[in-house]
Amino acid sequence: MPYTISEKILLAHSNKKDIHPGEFIEVNVDIALGNDITAPFAIEQFKKSGVKHVFDKNKIVLVPDHFAPAKDLRSANQCKILANFAAEQKIKNYFEVGCMGIEHALLPEMGLVTSGDLVIGADSHTCTYGALGAYSTGVGSTDLARAFIDGKCWFKVPGSVKFIYKGKLKKWVGGKDLILFTIGKIGVDGALYKAMEFSGPVIRTLSMDDRFSMSNMAIEAGARAGLIEPDGITKKYVKGRPKAQGRAPKFYASDKGAHYDYIYEWDISDLEPQVACPHLPSNTRVVSELNKVKVDQVVIGSCTNGRISDLRISAKILKGKKAAPGVKLIIFPATQKIYLEAVKEGLAEIFIKAGGVFSTPTCGPCLGGHMGILTEGEVALATTNRNFIGRMGSPKSFVYLSNPAVAAASAITGRITHPEEI
């Protein structure tokens, strides 16, 4: 029976001889991930179970990144729960402030996830690791607690949807634009409980950073996962990192004749930079149609676009320029390693001279937690992944989503701007 890449990974992690979409299966997980919002509840449930020790102290990853560095007493307590549990259980992969990063950038960077893995995380953007050819998906805190106990989780096997991108990308267009374009075409429920599979000649030209951006936002189309078949670019990335807890990468590819619920095919040669308008990631328009929209705040960073290539693109545009009067420019690299690279390359200096704030890694602005809350009536342009009502603060604020080049250009002019205008 021919299988898709996601079906192959799920099958390999189960005790089944064959599987089919819609079937419920029990799988063994390679990594169980929690953060300072979701893990404390999972830890509470784990302790209520009466089990004394986690299934594998090397396969649990705890990252305080959402409200860290702690913004208040409540968030400090949440982070402390993670620290205490990691110490009690001798969990190797606990990342304290100063060592941590935004979880979905940190895990691939550290080699903690790899191709062919099955990863669960109590965070919806766990789907990011599909860029490596892994099956990774978000779960609830109770599912995470169960995985802490025995390393297993129940899944409903999703159907698959294939996306084929042809043509050649224009300058200033990248993975973020491709995924915004895709969500704009199919809607926020266009891949509901499906595995999105991104393919075609355009995908094969994308850097890993661009691929991570695409897989990261699969959840914004309702998908369980967003996978890219490993190729030479993937293998080179994986080779440069330690083996994930001793696991060698496994490079799966979909079989010829594998079933897809839908197949979409687009020529994106004429694609312009995309912007998602309030209040849905699917409400997309080309940047040139929005040049009268004024912005109060520009945020560059997050698990979607906080990698070093994103910062380099932003710095190239901002170099020698200033953020427009009244515009709050906030840049936060996704990990400490990226932070240090930005300092060494002089990018941090460019951002600061442009009137920006260069922050330690945090999820704070993206989820309206801290480090950039919007008040009533304020407009933000962000390289983050969500723009729901109230996502970054007041329910009466407005969030637009774009790639880093558009964000940097817009910070300079004070309105949504195509980079070619700078």
Q: What is the pLDDT of residue 247?
A: 84
Q: Are residues 105 and 79 in the same domain?
A: yes
**Distance between CA atoms of 213 and 215, rounded to whole angstroms?**
6
Look at the alpha carbons of 135, 216, 243, 58 in this order and tell me if their dihedral is positive or negative: negative
Cα Rg for the chain, rounded, in angstroms? Answer: 20
Of 265, 298, 326, the position where a domain reaches its end is 265
List of residues 6+ apart from 324 with CB closer than 8 A = 411, 412, 413, 414
Q: Are residues 241 and 366 in the same domain?
A: no
**Distance between CA atoms of 122 and 104, rounded to whole angstroms?**
12
Q: What is the pLDDT of residue 246?
A: 77
Number of H helices, E strands in the chain: 14, 18
List of residues 6+ apart from 80 with CB closer than 8 A = none
Q: Which amino acid is at 131?
A: A
Q: Are residues 10 and 145 in the same domain?
A: yes
- Residue 272 gets which letter from DSSP? P
2: left (phi over 0), alpha (psi -120 to 50) or beta: beta
Which tokens belong to 369? 């937690």
Which tokens belong to 37? 């919002």
Q: Are residues 309 and 361 in the same domain?
A: yes
* Domain coverage including residue 391: 274-421
Q: Are residues 138 and 251 in the same domain?
A: yes
Q: Are residues 168 and 297 in the same domain?
A: no
Q: The CATH number of the domain where 250 resides is what?
A: 3.30.499.10
Q: Are residues 229 and 315 in the same domain?
A: no
Q: Are residues 53 and 182 in the same domain?
A: yes
Q: What is the pLDDT of residue 418?
A: 97
Q: Are residues 117 and 225 in the same domain?
A: yes
85 HSE (CA, 13 A, CB side)? 32
Q: How far is CA 409 from CA 237, 289, 302, 305, 329, in A?
A: 30, 15, 18, 15, 11
Of 215, 242, 265, the position where a domain reaches its end is 265
Q: Are strands 328-332 and 284-286 parallel, antiparallel or unpaired?
A: unpaired
Q: Are strands 328-332 and 356-358 parallel, antiparallel or unpaired?
A: parallel
Q: How far is CA 400 from CA 52, 193, 313, 382, in A?
A: 46, 25, 19, 6
Q: What is the pLDDT of residue 1?
A: 85
From first to last of its 422 residues, the chain has per-residue pLDDT tens of 899 999 999 999 999 999 999 999 999 999 999 999 999 999 999 999 999 999 999 999 999 999 988 999 999 999 999 999 999 999 999 999 888 899 999 999 999 999 999 999 999 999 999 999 999 999 999 999 999 999 999 999 999 999 999 999 999 999 999 999 999 999 999 999 999 999 999 999 999 999 999 999 999 999 999 999 999 999 999 987 776 677 889 999 999 999 999 999 999 999 999 999 999 999 999 999 999 999 999 999 999 999 999 999 999 999 999 999 999 999 999 999 999 999 999 999 999 999 999 999 999 888 988 899 999 999 999 999 999 999 999 999 999 999 999 999 999 999 999 999 98
Angle, vertex CA 303, rays to CA 302 and CA 305, nearest 5? 65
Q: Are residues 279 and 250 in the same domain?
A: no
**Distance between CA atoms of 379 and 397, rounded to whole angstroms?**
6
Q: Are residues 209 and 78 in the same domain?
A: yes
Q: What is the pLDDT of residue 240?
A: 75
Cis peptide bond upstream of 125, omega within 30? no
Q: Are residues 78 and 202 in the same domain?
A: yes
Of 241, 265, 289, the position where a domain reaches its end is 265
Count: domains in the chain? 2
